[in-house]
């Protein structure tokens, strides 16, 4: 589905001769979009639409993304700091709020000189007819943020309470307990490391890439180099995939020659895993553009799959598969460490809406599974309605399926990643997430089911 277009006032002209100004304009405009009425739009799409026509250089595009991401990663903290330093509280105008938030994020979280963050924010205000009269306010507030950096940082305690939307915090406390919920919130502040899945010889590639092999089977890289410039990328030795995201296929355990369906397949990391195992994989996604990117990735990896552009709900059922993987569309709250905007752009209504789609997709996946075959249902969500509740509902209605309990051996000995039902449940705080040592994984749910033969 194509991203919804942003309907906003025409952007002010940007002086391209000022280094970094266009990048900051794109970041501020994208953040303003998501703080305004376009909730639900992904940050990457907002950045793309905000930068349309500016033709940013790669370095500027990366800077815009870094500023916008930092703004959402600590949005609760940033808004609290700004509210304390504004006589009339937080501004209601998304454009002004975004300008103050992105400026503060540069000062507090990025390796940006204070004077550059302040000066370029003021320039953006002056260039916008709607904000030009507020340029002195922007200047005064951001200078105060820079002066009081240490005090602001010292006040950043309890990320669950002060940096997490209340509706999400309450959900996680109810589902996992307060201590675990606090661990999740702390892990979100750290961001995510770069994990890769290798086709073979993981120890050798760990040495070549300067990473370490995780118990889960993935490699975790320590550096921040551009992915395409790393050893092994061009020859297709590995692909980027969070360690938790690689687990569902490990549970499915595809075998050479098996017919496997990967439903909702894009971006394709799981398709690559299945193909690398020697199975004959049919990758299904409703987005032709996403499947084109998947095909390009498969070509780089020298792997093959049958790609089908279709709504999975409309697939024919006359030739069931030996195994089916359903990575269902979800709220993606398990990926907030990578995409912090999700915490602030999703709502409980999204969870309710998507749970209905997940129910229909799971029933369809069951009909595509041959007798004696395996079905893995998974979501990158922390919400029970999109995980354990879906499986409980499914099993209550489908007596010809049974749950296959996951063992600790299947997840690298990490018994904490298995819930009381025997399903996969990873939390961002697992593997040392929130400890400040580059740990953590995405929040994933997965259930391994078998159709009775």
- Write out the catalytic residue numbers: 380
Q: Are 346 and 40 contacting, i.e. CB atoms less than 8 angstroms apart?
A: yes
Compute the distance between CA of residue 376 and CA of residue 388 in angstroms, rounded to an integer: 13
| The pair of three-digit structure tokens given for residue 219, joined into one six-digit string | 């490699």
Pairing of strands 211-213, 259-263: unpaired
Q: How far is CA 143 from the centre of its chain?
A: 33
Cα separation, 74 vs 340, whole angstroms: 8
Gap between the Cα atoms of 210 and 203, Å rounded:
11
Q: Identify the bridge partners of residue 376 per DSSP, sorted by sequence position.
A: 325, 448
**Pairwise CA distance, residues 381 & 417, whole Å:** 14
Task: Single out the residue of 14, 431, 8, 436 nearest to residue 220, CA to CA.
Answer: 431
The DSSP annotation for 318-375 comes to: SS-EEEEEEE-----GGGTTT-TTHHHH--HHHHHHHHHHHHHHHHHHHHTEEEEEEE
Q: 260: which 2 tokens?
A: 């496997």
Residue 341 to residues 45, 113, 121, 234, 241, Cα–Cα distance (Å): 12, 25, 21, 31, 20
Closest CA to 291 of 276, 319, 271: 271
Least Cα distance to 246 among 283, 210, 208, 272 occurs for: 272
With DSSP H G I counted as helix, E B as strand and the rest as coil, what are the percentages for the chain, rounded to 5?
A: 50, 15, 40
């Amino acid at each position: 589905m194509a991203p919804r277009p942003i309907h906003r006032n025409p952007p002010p002209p940007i002086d391209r001769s000022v280094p970094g100004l266009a990048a900051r304009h794109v970041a501020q405009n994208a953040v303003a979009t998501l703080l305004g009425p376009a909730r639900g739009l992904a940050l990457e799409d907002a950045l793309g639409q905000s930068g349309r026509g500016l033709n940013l250089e790669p370095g500027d595009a990366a800077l815009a993304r870094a500023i916008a991401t930092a703004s959402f990663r600590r949005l609760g903290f940033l808004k609290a700091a700004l509210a304390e330093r504004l006589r009339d509280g937080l501004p209601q105008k998304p454009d002004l709020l975004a300008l103050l938030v992105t400026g503060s994020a540069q000062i507090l979280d990025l390796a940006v000189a204070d004077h550059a963050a302040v000066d370029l924010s003021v320039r953006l205000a002056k260039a916008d007819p709607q904000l030009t009269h507020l340029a002195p306010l922007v200047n005064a507030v951001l200078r105060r943020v820079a002066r009081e950096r240490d005090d602001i940082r010292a006040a950043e305690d309890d990320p669950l309470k002060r940096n997490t939307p209340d509706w999400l915090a309450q959900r996680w406390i109810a589902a996992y307990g307060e201590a675990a919920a606090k661990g999740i919130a702390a892990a979100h502040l750290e961001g995510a490391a770069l994990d890769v899945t290798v086709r073979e010889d993981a120890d050798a590639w760990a040495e070549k890439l300067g990473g370490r092999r995780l118990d889960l089977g993935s490699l975790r890289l320590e550096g921040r180099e551009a992915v395409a410039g790393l050893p092994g990328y061009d020859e297709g030795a590995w692909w980027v995939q969070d360690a938790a995201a690689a687990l569902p296929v490990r549970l499915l355990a595809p075998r050479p020659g098996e017919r496997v369906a990967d439903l909702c397949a894009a971006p394709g990391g799981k398709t690559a895993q299945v193909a690398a195992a020697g199975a004959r994989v049919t990758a299904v996604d409703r987005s032709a553009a996403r499947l084109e990117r998947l095909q390009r990735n498969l070509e780089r990896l020298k792997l093959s799959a049958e790609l089908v552009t279709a709504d999975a709900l409309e697939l024919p059922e006359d030739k069931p598969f030996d195994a089916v993987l359903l990575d269902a569309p979800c709220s993606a709250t398990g990926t907030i460490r990578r995409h912090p905007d999700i915490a602030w752009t999703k709502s409980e209504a999204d969870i309710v809406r998507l749970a209905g789609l997940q129910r229909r997709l799971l029933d369809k996946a069951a009909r595509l599974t041959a007798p004696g075959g395996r079905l893995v249902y998974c979501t990158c969500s922390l919400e029970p309605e999109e995980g354990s509740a879906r499986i409980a509902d499914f099993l209550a209605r489908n007596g010809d399926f049974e749950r296959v309990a996951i063992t600790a051996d299947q997840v690298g000995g990490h018994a904490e990643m298995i819930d009381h039902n025997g399903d996969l449940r990873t939390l961002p705080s697992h593997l040392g997430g929130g400890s400040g040592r580059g740990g953590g994984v995405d929040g994933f749910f997965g259930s391994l089911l078998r159709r009775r033969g």
